[in-house]
Amino acid sequence: MSRIVRNMAMLALVALAAQAAEAGGHGDGDPYLHYKLVNFGILAAGIGFLVVKLLFPAFRKQQKEILDGMAQAERRAEEAKAEAAVIESRMAGLEQDVAGLKQRAAAEMEHERERLERETAAQLAKIASAAEVEIGSMTKAARQELKEYSAELALELAKQKIRMRLDDAAQSALIARFAAGLTPDVVDKN
């Protein structure tokens, strides 16, 4: 700021010296020229003072705001770069995560398939065992029925044979033998 004031004062002095040199060589110059130059110097100093006091602080404030804005923009750019780097690392990690998830899902599906195969095999074994037990019991029941049926047939056949061989004479002889075999105790009781 003081440099500008010095430069303005130097400029006014140089202008005065140049005017004095010009007026000194010619005698017919403006008699009020010195006053005009002093007036010009005062006006220039006043304008310089106003520029220094009013415009420079405004320029400095604007310059500071611009520098602050640039610094803030630079910080935001750095933050954006950092966020972009984080996102890129996540994206790179995401591909690995997806691959890992696919591998885990495939392993789990294989494990589940094996478990289902084991459970199915166990269920089939239970069903086969139950079927064998049921077939065994049905076979046993069928044999029992067959034995009973065979016994009934044999009994019926025996009855028929006895009826055919047993006529009235054979019946009388059979009853007589039976009665002869009875002891007197048995006869008295009846």
More confident residue, 186 or 122: 122
Identity of the highest mean pLDDT range in 26-35, 70-79, 159-168: 70-79
Among the ranges given (105-109, 131-135, 158-162), the one the predictor scored with the smallest mean pLDDT: 158-162
- Do residues 37 and 19 make contact, with C-beta atoms less than 8 angstroms apart? yes
What is the Cα 70 distance to its own chain's centre? 41
Which residues are CB-contacts of 22 (< 8 A; sequence separation ≥ 6)?
29
- Residue range 5-63, pLDDT digits in tens: 677 777 777 776 766 666 555 556 678 887 888 888 888 888 888 888 888 888 888 88
How many Cα atoms are found within 13 Å in the side-chain-facing hemisphere of 172? 3
Q: Is the pTM of this model over 0.75?
A: no
Is residue 88 within a helix (H) or strand (E), and if so which, with residue range?
Answer: helix 56-165
| In the chain, % of residues over pLDDT 70 | 85
